[in-house]
Each structure stands twice: as C-alpha cells, then as structure tokens.
Chain A
Amino acid sequence: MSSASSSLVMLVGLLVTAGCERENHHFSEVPPTATPSASALVVSELQPGPATIAPKIDAPYDDNAYAVSEGKTLFTSMNCSGCHFEGGGGIGPALMDDEWIYGSEPQQIFASIAEGRPNGMPAWEYRLSTQQIWELVSFVRSLSSLNPKGARGGRDDHMMLKPPEVSTPKGKPKTASALPGTQH
C-alpha cells in the first residue's frame, strides 16, 4: 500500500472517530462541577479592583447533536419562546442575532439561564438540573451558529419560521450597544 493511500485511510479513520461524539447520548452523568457564578464573569472592561482572569469553561455539549436537540426540546417545554420567541426576540432579547448583552461565552449564557437577568429573565437553577441548563446553553449557542455545524439542528417540530440552525452562517458575537429596556 502506498504511503498516500495509507495516510488517506488513517485520515478517514480519524474523521470517523471524531464523529463519534456527535450522537453520544449522555443519559446519566454527573453534571459539570465547575458551575460558573456571576462573580467570575466579565461582561465589561470596567471592573473594580485589579484585573481578574475568569477561567474559561467549554460548553460540554456544544459538539453533541443529541444534547443540542434535547436543549431545543427544553427551550419549548420551559416556554422560553414565551419571551424570546423562536430565537427572534420580542419581550426578551433575540437569541439568533450576533448581539449579546451578557456575553456569548458558554459560562456567561449558563449564568444568564441559571441566575436570571434584570428586566424579567427568571433564575432557572432551582427548576432545572445543571445538565439540562448546559443542554440549553448549547442550543442557544446553536441559534447563532457558535457551535460546530455537525451538531446543529436541521429541522423544527413546528412550522419553519427561520432557516434551520445548521444552515445559518457562523455567528460573530459582539456586545450589544443597548441594555434591555433602553433599546428602541
């Protein structure tokens, strides 16, 4: 076997292994222990005291299509659409655009869901398990295509109101210019 074909076989093998995580079902697992808290989050460059470096936490389910779809189910079940609609925003801010009031990093979204935010976002940490909040985090990130394409959803259970997550262009997150309640 020539070296070119053997390296091709190895490449294909590596690609196949890399794809394994995509459909891995995490049924029962100890939720990530490092639960982010608001104090470790930086949403502005203006801070009291010396500069602190917040540890970066990767979203555990960003590359897992099953978990992202579970997050999508939870998004409907927990009536997130009541305020955010199908990601387009209304009473609450839009989740499918590139503007982030409280940051687009996984731990920042986690804190927004778990601890709530001013002007109406409830705290969900007493209502959902940590694992479920992480599933929601990955789904919310998929709405503006911040997670790997292979894990994003391709269809909705209801009428398609927007292009599916899998076919939206990669998001370029930026901090929102207006705080909620002061926009328009």
Chain B
Amino acid sequence: MRRSRRLHGVATCVVLVSCVVACHGPQNVLDPAGSPNRIVNRLFWSMLVVSATVWIGVVGAALWGALTRRRTTREDLEPVVDLPNDDKQRQTRLVGALIAGTALILLLFLVFDFTVGRALAEHPNRALTIEIIGHQWWWEIQYVDADPSKIVVDANELHIPAGEPVQVTLSSRDVIHSFWVPNIIGKRDLIPGYTSSIFLDADRPGTYRAQCAEFCGVEHAKMALTVIVHSRADFTTWLAAQRAPATEPNDSSTKEGQRIFLAGPCSSCHSITGTAAYGTIGPDLTHLASRKTIGAGALANTRGNLAGWVVDPQSLKPGVRMPSNQLAPKDLLALLDYLESLK
C-alpha cells in the first residue's frame, strides 16, 4: 500500500516536472515567442482541448454502457419486442444531435484552420528584409540594403528586432535545407534555384535556437542557427557595428596572423571585409569574434575550440567542407590572435 503511494508520488513529480520543462526553452514549439507560432499554438490548443473533451465523453459513454449493462438471465432472452414509439423517437433525436454536433465542431475547426492559414500567408509592411542562404552545413545571412555599402553579411546567427515583421527570403546553394525556428515560426524549405519568402514577427527579446529540418547530408544535425531577438535600439546598434569593416590588426602578432590568413588557404573560401580575402564558399569572418558559436552551432566560440577547428575541423564535424590545416604552432597562435581581434 505504502509502496504504491510512493510510486504514485514519483509519477506525479515526473509528470509535473516534464510539463514545466516542456513549456520553456530556446527550441520549443509550445513556448511561442513570435506571432506566427502564437496563432498556430492557439489553433493547436483549441483543437486539443475540444478533441480531448469529445474523446473523454465518448470513452466515458462507452464505459458507462458496458458497466451498467443489465445482467441477462435465461428468461430475459425473449423474442425482441419493439420499443414503445416514444423511446424510439428520443433515441433517434439523440443520435441526430450528436452527428450534427460532430459536424459542427469539424466545420468550426475548418473555418479556424482557414483563418490561421490566411493569417500566416499575410504580407505585412516591413522595414527589413533578410536573405538566408543554406549551405552544407551552415547558414549565410545577408541584411539587404539598397545601398551596397550597407549590406551586412553574417553567418549562423540571425539578429532581428522584436515587435516588427521582418521579411526573410530563403534559398539554397546546394541541396534542400529547411528553416525552422520552433519558438517563432514553422518550417519552410530552402530549395536550390527557388527563392521563397516568409515573415518573422518575434514579440520578445531573447535567444532561440533554429535547426535545419530537412536531411541535407552527413552533418545535417550540426546545422544550427542562433536566433537573437533584440529590442529595436539594440538591433540598430548591432547593425551599425556589423556594417563597420573588420578591425585593423594593431600589433605584431595580429599583423602576422592577418598575413597568414591572406597568404594561406583561409582566404580562398572566407572573406573579411576591408582585406583581400573575398572567398564566398565559407562563412564571412569579418566579425567572427562577436559570434557565440563556430561551425554552425557545433562548438562554443572559445580560443581553444577555434584552434582545434582551424587545425582539424574534420574530427570535430566530420565531413565539413573545411579541410584540415597544418600550421606551425607559432603561426597558429598568431592566426588565433588575429581571428580573436575580429570583434
């Protein structure tokens, strides 16, 4: 008896804790942080509550019918006698009402579903357009501007202002990827040769995690995108900082690091604004040190991780397009000094 009570207590705790955990987090569809996800969530919860109520009603009625059945004896097995007319009519009316109710609920769901679909397809007025280009296995992000000198190219980190709709255009350089920020918006595929457009409308500042949601090759799982929602003022400051060219090296070590970057294989794939490195195969590194992660969310952006990544990315993210680089220790340290100066 005591044992069963303890088991009961543990089960209650597990259910409660998982409920609480399930409702918050940087990558959670049930924790809406943007209007597209909020309206989908409203539809989801309404459908869940109504369907659960109906299901409980049906199962309850079935149980009630099964358990309150009259016990039959030999004498009860009389020839079937027609019910009196009154009872028959009442039953027909009950069944008719239940069918009508079911149809009405389904019709309401349909109308609700259409309104949600229309709301998601709406093209609001927007001040900002961001281009996201999928690569194996990282995200290229461009802040579009009519003035070419104001275009910002970023990678694996999407910064957006809160409380205003942002247009995001999606395309791919190689295979099909899928853009999915669970807290803010549902999935949209990135298809090579085709540009699609969605609207992000985040409503509170925070950091969220997006993930490629369409299998795109060997490192699909390590293709994450950090979505950082700022207040409008913070976003303006951030964008202005990103528009600046890369920090000039100012001591002997960073100068040597820049020389190694430009003379070696780094510059054939990466670009750093304001230098001769303009490769577009790998992520833009102009403001590398200001990012939280490297390798599309594979590792935290620390000096040690960066060193490992430069020397042997293949053991950290096998299959990644970046080749291993054999560098002399003194060259590697200078290169790291330079990369860390790129705030």
Taking beta carbons and an 8 Å cutoff, which residues of A are in contact with B?
25, 27-28, 73, 77-78, 126-129, 131-132, 157
Question: B174–A157 contact, CB under 8 A?
Answer: yes
Question: B314–A78 contact, CB under 8 A?
Answer: no
B23 at the interface (CB under 8 A from A): no
In the bound complex, CA of A78 to CA of B267 (Å): 12
In the bound complex, CA of A100 to CA of B311 (Å): 36
With A27-B319, A132-B323: A126-B265 Cβ-Cβ less than 8 Å: yes
In the bound complex, CA of A27 to CA of B314 (Å): 6
Cross-chain contact of A129 among B174, B315, B318, B325 (Cβ < 8 A) = B325
B281 at the interface (CB under 8 A from A): yes
Residues of B within 8 A of A27 (CB): 314, 318-319
Q: Which residue of B lies closest to A135 (CB)?
A: B323
Residues of B within 8 A of A78 (CB): 268
B256 at the interface (CB under 8 A from A): no
Cross-chain contact of B323 among A25, A73, A126, A131 (Cβ < 8 A) = A131
Taking beta carbons and an 8 Å cutoff, which residues of B are in contact with A?
174, 192, 218, 263-265, 268-269, 281, 312, 314-315, 318-319, 321, 323-325
Question: A128–B314 contact, CB under 8 A?
Answer: no
With A25-B218, A25-B319, A157-B174: A126-B314 Cβ-Cβ less than 8 Å: no
Q: Which residue of B lies closest to A70 (CB)?
A: B321
**6 tightest A-B contacts by CB?**
A28-B314, A129-B323, A127-B268, A27-B318, A27-B314, A77-B281
Residues of A within 8 A of B281 (CB): 77
Q: Which residue of A lies closest to B324 (CB)?
A: A28
CB distance from A181 to the nearest CB of B (A): 26
Q: Which residue of A lies closest to B316 (CB)?
A: A28
With A28-B324, A77-B281: A126-B174 Cβ-Cβ less than 8 Å: no
With A28-B314, A28-B324, A157-B174: A127-B265 Cβ-Cβ less than 8 Å: yes
In the bound complex, CA of A28 to CA of B322 (Å): 10
Between-chain CB contacts (< 8 Å), 26 pairs: A25-B218, A25-B318, A25-B319, A27-B314, A27-B318, A27-B319, A28-B312, A28-B314, A28-B315, A28-B318, A28-B324, A77-B281, A126-B263, A126-B264, A126-B265, A127-B265, A127-B268, A128-B265, A128-B268, A128-B323, A129-B323, A129-B324, A129-B325, A131-B323, A132-B323, A157-B174
CB distance from A153 to the nearest CB of B (A): 15
In the bound complex, CA of A77 to CA of B314 (Å): 19
Q: Which residue of A lies closest to B315 (CB)?
A: A28
CB distance from A116 to the nearest CB of B (A): 14
Residues of A within 8 A of B218 (CB): 25
Residues of B within 8 A of A28 (CB): 312, 314-315, 318, 324
Instruction: Tell me which of A28, A126, A132 has the highest count of chain B C-beta atoms within 10 A of its own C-beta.
Output: A28
Residues of B within 8 A of A132 (CB): 323
CB distance from B283 to the nearest CB of A (A): 14
Q: Which residue of A lies closest to B174 (CB)?
A: A157
In the bound complex, CA of A25 to CA of B319 (Å): 8
CB distance from B332 to the nearest CB of A (A): 15
In the bound complex, CA of A128 to CA of B324 (Å): 10
In the bound complex, CA of A78 to CA of B315 (Å): 24
Residues of A within 8 A of B315 (CB): 28
Residues of A within 8 A of B265 (CB): 126-129
Residues of B within 8 A of A73 (CB): 321
CB distance from A137 to the nearest CB of B (A): 15
Q: Which residue of A lies closest to B320 (CB)?
A: A27
In the bound complex, CA of A73 to CA of B324 (Å): 17
CB distance from A61 to the nearest CB of B (A): 14
In the bound complex, CA of A131 to CA of B324 (Å): 9
In the bound complex, CA of A132 to CA of B192 (Å): 25
Q: Which residue of A lies closest to B264 (CB)?
A: A126
Q: Which residue of A lies closest to B192 (CB)?
A: A157
Residues of B within 8 A of A131 (CB): 323-324
Q: Apart from A77-B281, A129-B324, A129-B325, list 18 A-B contacts with CB within 8 A.
A: A25-B218, A25-B319, A27-B314, A27-B319, A28-B312, A28-B314, A28-B315, A73-B321, A77-B269, A126-B265, A127-B265, A127-B268, A128-B265, A128-B268, A128-B323, A129-B323, A131-B323, A132-B323
